[in-house]
Structure 1
């Protein structure tokens, strides 16, 4: 399938989920992430704030868990068409942007590119780690700046099924996919 078809299909599948299903599946994804990756104090994790109207994976449990264990937490913010990474704390102030996304009030880019984990939103991920997002390319550009040691982790309610037929040269796949059922590795050793 091509990205535009996949995007439409998985937006509809997400829309069909009840809020109880979103919360329950998000919690299972959180548990699978923690059990598999075992994040520890001092690590740096970049994680998105969900767009609730699109039924994105709820990341509040992740963020609370990380902050309570002295794990540094960074979230994306779009400033002048660029995705920057802002460090957040338990008392960080947030505001809703024009797209309905909650973002930190601060525009201070951390300039950190050696994250231990980048937990990435996506609509779909195939069996090779290729992603379909909303089509803006923010994460591909962001991924290009990251340290090779940073693990790019997609999270999704749905398992890979169809392959993405129109993968482009600049598309950067994720290294892992965490679903409510399992953690898949696409990591390729050199």
Structure 2
């Protein structure tokens, strides 16, 4: 199936989730992530801030957990068409951008590239780790520049079902997908 078709289907599926379902599935995804990856103090996590109107996974649960355990937290911010990583703390100031996304006020790129985990937004992921996002390509560019040892982890309400037919040469697959029921691994990395 083509990305444009998949995007339409999964935007609709997500739209049909109730707020209770979003909350419960987000909790399960969070628990599966913690139980599988077991993050520890001083690790570095890059994680997105959810777009509530698109019913993205509630990553605030993750962020609160990380900050309470001295795990370094970085969030994306688009500055001049480039995705940068801003380190956040419990007292970081946020503002809402033109797309309705909450971002740190700071435009200071941490320039960190050796993340332990990069928790990535997506609409869909197939059995090979290929993802369908919103089609802007920010994460593919970002993945190109980070350390090869950074674990690229998608989080999604839905398990893989269809194969993405129109994967592009520049698309960089995920290493893992965490859903409410599973943690799927797509590559073998030396630890």
Shorter-chain TM-score range: over 0.9
Mapped partners of 2:182, 2:36: distance in 1: 9
Matched, 1:91 2:91: yes
Structure-to-structure mapping, 1:141-160, within 5 angstroms: 141-160=141-160
User: Deviation of residue 188 (structure 1)?
Assistant: 3.2
Secondary structure, aligned partner of 1:40: coil
Structure-to-structure mapping, 1:61-80, within 5 angstroms: 61-80=61-80
Mapped partners of 1:148, 1:5: distance in 2: 31
Mapped partners of 2:23, 2:189: distance in 1: 34
Matched, 1:171 2:171: yes
Secondary structure, aligned partner of 2:160: coil
Mapped partners of 2:188, 2:180: distance in 1: 23
**Which structure 1 residue ranges, 4+ long, deviate > 4 Å from structure 2?**
none
Secondary structure, aligned partner of 2:86: strand
User: Deviation of residue 187 (structure 1)?
Assistant: 1.3
Mapped partners of 1:63, 1:187: distance in 2: 26
Question: What's the counterpart of residue 183 of structure 2?
Answer: 183
Q: How many matched pairs? A: 190
1:87-137 Cα distance to aligned partner (Å, 9 max, x none): 000000000000000000000000000000000000000000000000000
Mapped partners of 1:103, 1:8: distance in 2: 26
User: Deviation of residue 189 (structure 1)?
Assistant: 4.5
TM-score by length of 1: 0.99
Question: What's the counterpart of residue 124 of structure 1?
Answer: 124
The alignment's C-alpha RMSD in Å is: 0.7
Mapped partners of 1:127, 1:52: distance in 2: 27
Structure 2 alignment gaps of length 5 or more: none
Mapped partners of 1:132, 1:61: distance in 2: 24
User: Deviation of residue 73 (structure 1)?
Assistant: 0.1
1:137-163 Cα distance to aligned partner (Å, 9 max, x none): 000000000101100000000000000
TM-score by length of 2: 0.98
Question: What's the counterpart of residue 58 of structure 1?
Answer: 58
Mapped partners of 2:124, 2:36: distance in 1: 21
Question: What's the counterpart of residue 108 of structure 2?
Answer: 108
Mapped partners of 2:95, 2:163: distance in 1: 37
Mapped partners of 2:182, 2:105: distance in 1: 35
Secondary structure, aligned partner of 1:83: strand
Question: What's the counterpart of residue 138 of structure 1?
Answer: 138
